[in-house]
Each structure stands twice: as C-alpha cells, then as structure tokens.
Amino acid sequence: MSEKIPELLAPAGNIEILKQAALFGADAIYFGGELFSARAYAGNLTNEEILSAIRFLHMNQKKAYLTVNTLLKSREIEGRLFSFLKPFYEEGLDAVLVQDMGVFSLIRDCFPHLPIHISTQCSVTSEYGARFFKSLGAERVVLSRELSLDEIKTVIEKSDIETEVFVHGALCVSYSGRCMMSSMIGGRSANRGRCAGACRNPYSVEIDGKKIESFGNYPLSMRDLSGLPDLKRLVKTGVDSLKIEGRMKDMTYVTGVVSLYRKYLDMLSDDPDMDYSVESNDLKRLFSLGNRGFFTDTWYFSKNDPSMTNSEDSSFKRDIKDEAKSYEETGLPVDITFKAHVGEPLLLSLKCKGQEVSVHGPDCEAAKNSPLTKESLSEKLSRLDTKNTYFEAGRVDILLSEEAPFVPMSVLKEMKREGLSKLSDSFLEKRSDAFLPESAGFERSEQSFKKAETFMLISNTEQLSWLSALKHDFSVIIPSRLFLMNNGQMREKVMDSISSLQKTNKKIYLLFPRIFRKRVYEDAGTLLSIVEMSGLSGIFVTGYDALSFLLEKGFNKEKIFLSPDIYVMNERAKAFFGSLSLFNSSVPLELNEGEISHRNNSDSLMMVYGRYTLMQSAVCIYKNACGCEKNEEKEHAISLTDRKNMVFPVMKDCSDCVNLVLNSLPTNLFPDLPRLKGYGISRYLLSFTTENKEEMKKVIEDYYSAGAGSKSSSDGSYTRGHFGRGVE
C-alpha cells in the first residue's frame, strides 16, 4: 500500500505567480485579497483576479484557498466581510483560512458549504485544539510551526481533522498569534497583517548584568525552514498538506521551491520505501533561491539551540542570477464536434478533462450561394481566446449533411461563446446558498454597570507573599509554573500563601500553561486536582488547546476565563464564545479607547496595569546562552536592548518551555479608570512581572487612589499601550 502523499500548498502574491506555481506542480494555492489578509503588504489579488484564479485553478484540477486570517474590528466584520466573500463563495472557492472566531462563526453560518481552515495564528499545538475546531465545523487546522514530527503525528492520530504544516520558508520566533512586538513598537499589528518584522532587528542580550556576546546581534531572527531533507518523515506522519511560506516572495523563488518539492513528493509517490535523500545540486539550488543565512529543521526534532537563529545578519539573501523559468500559458485542450445537418438544429459539443457540454442552435438551413466547408468551419471553431477562456482547440470534428448547409457567422460565434462558458462553469462548484447575516452590533446600556472587581496576576512567590498582607478587596491569579517548578518543592510555599489569602476571603485563580503541548498533559491533570482540592475559584486560559482540555474534562464553564491571548476582537466573536457558554472574556489589548467605548464589555476583564507580553517564544535565550535549567525555576535578569536603547525584559517559564518578551514600559491606565467604568468595564487586571516589593506597593496604592477619585501619582515611566492609538 502506497503512502498518502500530502497536498503541496504554494503561496501567491499576485495572479501571475499563482498560475505559474500551479503549473510548476502545486496542488493548491493560497492567496490574499484586497481585504483581511495576514500579508497586507503582499501584492495580493483584486476581486476580479480572485474570480479568475478560482476558475483557472479548478480548470487545472487545483484548489484555491483564500486567506482571511486577520483579527477584524466590529465595523469591518459587520459592514464588509459578507459582501467581500460572497462572489468567491459562489464561484466555488475551496476554503478560507481564518484566525478570528467572529470571522469563523460568520462564515460557518452564512456560507454553509465553504470549508474553513484554522490559521497557524490560533497556535494549535495539540490534539485538544484540533478536536475543538473539528467539533465547531472546521475542516483543517494549520499546526504551530514549533511542533516536532512526533507531536504532529500524535495530533493526526488523535484527532479526526485535516492537518497542515509548514515545510519551507520564513519562521517566526514567537508562536504565531502570540506576537505584539511590531504592534507595540510601531502600531503595525501582526494580527492584522501588518507585521513590521521587529524580530529581524538587532538586539543585545544581557543576563544577570552581563552582556552575552555569543548571540551576536540578531538573537530573535530565525533561520528559514527547509523540510526537503525530511520529506519522507513528514509524509509518514500522515499530514494532509505541506505549506510553503512566501506570499511576499517573487516568481523565481516560488516556482523554484515548488518544483523541487514536487520532484521529491513524486519520487515518494512512486516508491514510498525508497532510500530517501536529496541530491546535492538540488540542495544548492534550493539554497540559492533564497534564505536567511542557513536553513533549519530543528523544530521537527524538538531541538532548541543557537543554530536556529542568525547571529550576525537577518536579511533575506539569494544567490541565483537567472530569471524565473515559466511555462507558456497554454489552454486546456478541448475536443470540438460541430454538427450541421440541414433541417436539424445546429449542435456544438465540447469535451475537456472528462467534462462535456453541448449547445443547440437554430435549425440549419441549406446554403444558397456560399456553402461552408469542413476546413473553414474547423478554422473558425479552432480560434479560442486562450488567455481569457483557458482553453485551446484539440481535435475538431465537423459533421455536415450531404446537402450543403449554411451557418451564419454570428450564430457560430454565439454558440462557441456559450459553449466555452458552459464548459468553464462545469469545472466550478457553483454555489448560490449564501445568506446575509444578521448584525451582531451592540448598543451599550448605561444601566449595565457592575461593582468593580480587581484581579492581580503575579509571577513569583515573593510577589504572592506580599499580596497576602494587603487588606484591599481583590482576586489573585497564580501562574501554573509556581505549582510545577523545582519538582513541586515550591508548591508548599504557594499553598501556604493561598491559604492565607483565602482566610481573608480572597478568590484565587489559576493561570493555565500558556503553551499546551504534549509534555504538559500530565501536569494539566495535576493542576486540575490542585484547583479542586484547594477550592480555587477558576482558571484563566491563554489558548484553544488548554480551553479544549478543560471542556473535554467537563470543567465548569462559568469558572473559565479567557485571557487577552484568546482574542474577542468584535461583537460576533463575543457572541460566538457566548454560544459556547463562555462569557468571561478579556478586552483585546489592541483596541483603542473609541473602539472599546463601542464594545460590549459586560463580563470582560481589562488590563489596566502591567507590561504587555510582546512575544511568547519556544526559543530560550537563557538556555542558548547558559544551558537548560530544566525544571529549576531560578530567577534571572534577562533582557534585550534595541537600537534605541529600549530594554525589553525576558521571563522564562520552564513549566511549558517558553520565553516571554515583555514591553519596555508597563502600561498604566489608572487616570482613565473613570472613563473605563463609563464604558461598562467592571473587571480590572493588574499584571506584575518584574516589579519588586516597593514597586508593587506604589502601583497598588496608585490604583486604589485613582479608583477613589484621586489623581494618580504616575511619574511618566509608563505607556498607555494601544488605548490612545490602537492599531492599523
């Protein structure tokens, strides 16, 4: 039995690259349109080009996937999304790629036969996330780039959903969907397709007061991925689609990469048990097409070392000198049969790739002066507009009656036009069942205010112990790593602090692991036991895998809180989670004041103090410099400094093996608290990361003073985050 050969999925930034990528061997093409694409700075396709692309790809037995994988604001999703998608849906678009759950729910409800692919921006890292989206009606998930071959295989074996993985191209240093670096530095949100590539900038690394020279200048700039040497292993995982990154890349790159992967996939198709290796000339060719220094495949093997990043240069290089080779755009061969028998209706039949259509004309009359010959009819029928119809004449059969027939040229031209149109349509899955959605708009009620609740998220046991002495009314969120590190030795100290807080009627919540991968499953069961035995009030989740785990375990939905990492960017997304009985969400960090003021903020938590987490990365800066501490949660002062001398603290979380790159300044919205209350927000989050006791004390005093109507004593060493400016 032969191995299942996965789909080869290629990128296209314009219609010319799309056509050539298909002709060079891609099975499917993904592309963006004029709106809502996660590569807003790619060429992208116009609406007319998308319709043409769908027709071209289907006629060549390829698939067309449209990217709508950005977060949408309410005015965008309600006013523009349906009308944008409708013509593509009707033309037979094969799938749409999404990140936003508001977008997901609108497409699912209003375009019932349009397959939905879940973007890698949703950070699906386990079978739990895959099963969650399958249960909602998704057809495919694009798995996180960080997963190993073993993890990919486990997801496939334990979830009944199509899977897609990246096989070649640029890598993000942060888990996709978990990066706000570009957003905070320049207001260009990666979640809205406008990433400025802040990870490609130079940074110096400092650990415990010592500058680390071994990193070079580009500790966050990942080398490009190449899975060509690992293609046989990837095929054996059972993955459904192999994705080449590069909607910003040119024709030479895309067609060159596609042709090489096509070559080796075909070899594996012919002989799946072959002794697989890549020819040295092909590796040189792949390298010359473009890369960032060298290629890497370390994620496939659960490795994490300095070889993943470029120490001295982050630029994309190419060594190839020749221009892109391209196929001449020829049409599909059409067999044409034309019958003209006097006294019978004219008949034109067209056959192409198993499709056959017929067109009947008026009754054929006898010729009076100039009878048509087979040669002249054949010549006229063979003239096909290849560029616009994608057809060219193949065999032409002319069937004429013994009595010389007469066929007006206008009739012949119209029959040919109608026949080619019908033949073209026969390759498309035409749909007509889309229906306009009801608005999910929100009118804020001035009477919907609730008593303010304060939540404080801490990062270490010292911060937790300091809170125990406070007499204010607040709840505490404790990260899971404090229960799991040092082989559990820290847990007793944490449990003592919890007991002290509960004696003063404080509610305690658990922050579940940020990245829910295979290695944390056993820990997750332990954490659930702690929640139950210790009487904790609920769990905060930061991703769909952890959320799905809790839902599968039957955890009380009323006790589940969605952190800002699970984006509820628009009213339709809020309604979507509400339909799952998940009502405790967070205000997105990238909305500005005006957008927040028109949002339904009931039961929403808003961060009013703390350093934004700019990146959540599987690249461990401390390990790469000093070696892995495994489960030893030791405090280290780790930081990145950019060209403007802005310092970004880095926290390592060994429980789920992730580095958190924090903003250079904390966000402080204490002066804005009265207005936030007017916008219906009643839950406020103070997030403590690098603060010492005195800094925490000052922040908390300022917060409660501002809440009581006093002016905040902020000294200017803060930012207002996106509250004042928002994002593009």
Cβ atoms of 235 and 5 closer than 8 Å: yes
Q: How confident is the model at residue 293 (pLDDT cuts 50, 70, 90)?
A: confident
Q: Express each pLDDT in 65-96 by its tens digit.
A: 999 999 999 988 987 899 999 999 999 999 99
Cα distances (angstroms) measured from residue 117 to each of 44, 78, 142: 19, 21, 7
Task: Tell me the domains of the chain and their CATH numbers.
Answer: 7-173+221-308 (3.20.20.70), 332-426 (no CATH), 453-610+682-707 (3.20.20)
Cβ atoms of 128 and 548 closer than 8 Å: yes
pLDDT computed for residue 447 by the predictor: 41
Q: Express each pLDDT in 631-689 by its tens digit.
A: 666 789 999 999 999 999 999 988 888 999 999 999 999 999 999 999 999 999 999 99
Position 705, amino acid = S
Cβ atoms of 110 and 436 closer than 8 Å: yes
Position 263, amino acid = K
Average pLDDT of the chain?
Answer: 91
This prediction's pTM: 0.93
pLDDT computed for residue 506 by the predictor: 94
Q: Is residue 441's pLDDT more than 80?
A: no
Position 248, amino acid = M
Cβ atoms of 316 and 324 closer than 8 Å: no
Cβ atoms of 70 and 81 closer than 8 Å: no
pLDDT computed for residue 365 by the predictor: 93
DSSP code at position 378:
H
390/394 Cα distance (integer angstroms) = 13
Q: Express each pLDDT in 168-190 by its tens digit.
A: 999 999 999 999 999 998 888 89
Radius of gyration of the chain (CA): 30
212/569 Cα distance (integer angstroms) = 39
Poorest-confidence range of 377-391, 450-464, 689-703? 377-391
691 beta partners: none
pLDDT computed for residue 608 by the predictor: 97
Q: Name 475's Cβ contacts closer than 8 Å, sequence gap at least 6.
A: 453, 454, 455, 456, 506, 507, 508, 509, 537
Q: Express each pLDDT in 522-572 by its tens digit.
A: 789 889 999 999 999 999 999 999 999 999 999 999 999 999 999 999 999
Cβ atoms of 296 and 222 closer than 8 Å: yes
567/384 Cα distance (integer angstroms) = 50
Stronger pLDDT, 627 or 49, i.e. the higher one: 49
The β-bridge relationship of strands 162-169 and 140-142 is parallel
Q: Express each pLDDT in 690-704 by its tens digit.
A: 999 999 999 999 999
Q: Is residue 253's pLDDT more than 80?
A: yes
Angle between helices 571-579 and 101-110 (to 10 degrees): 80
Q: What percent of the chain has pLDDT over 90?
A: 73
**Contacts by 558-562, CB closer than 8 A, 24 or more apart:** 558/583, 558/584, 560/584, 561/509, 561/585, 561/586, 561/605, 562/586
* Tokens found for residue 49: 């080009």
86 beta partners: none
pLDDT computed for residue 448 by the predictor: 54
Q: Express each pLDDT in 129-147 by its tens digit.
A: 999 999 999 999 999 999 9
Q: Express each pLDDT in 464-493 by its tens digit.
A: 999 988 889 999 999 998 988 766 677 888
pLDDT computed for residue 101 by the predictor: 97
Q: Name 259's Cβ contacts closer than 8 Å, sequence gap at least 6.
A: 24, 25
pLDDT computed for residue 156 by the predictor: 97
pLDDT computed for residue 632 by the predictor: 62
pLDDT computed for residue 1 by the predictor: 39
138/579 Cα distance (integer angstroms) = 16
Q: Express each pLDDT in 255-266 by its tens digit.
A: 999 999 999 999
Mean pLDDT of 343-358: 95
CA atoms within 13 Å, Cβ hemisphere of 61: 6
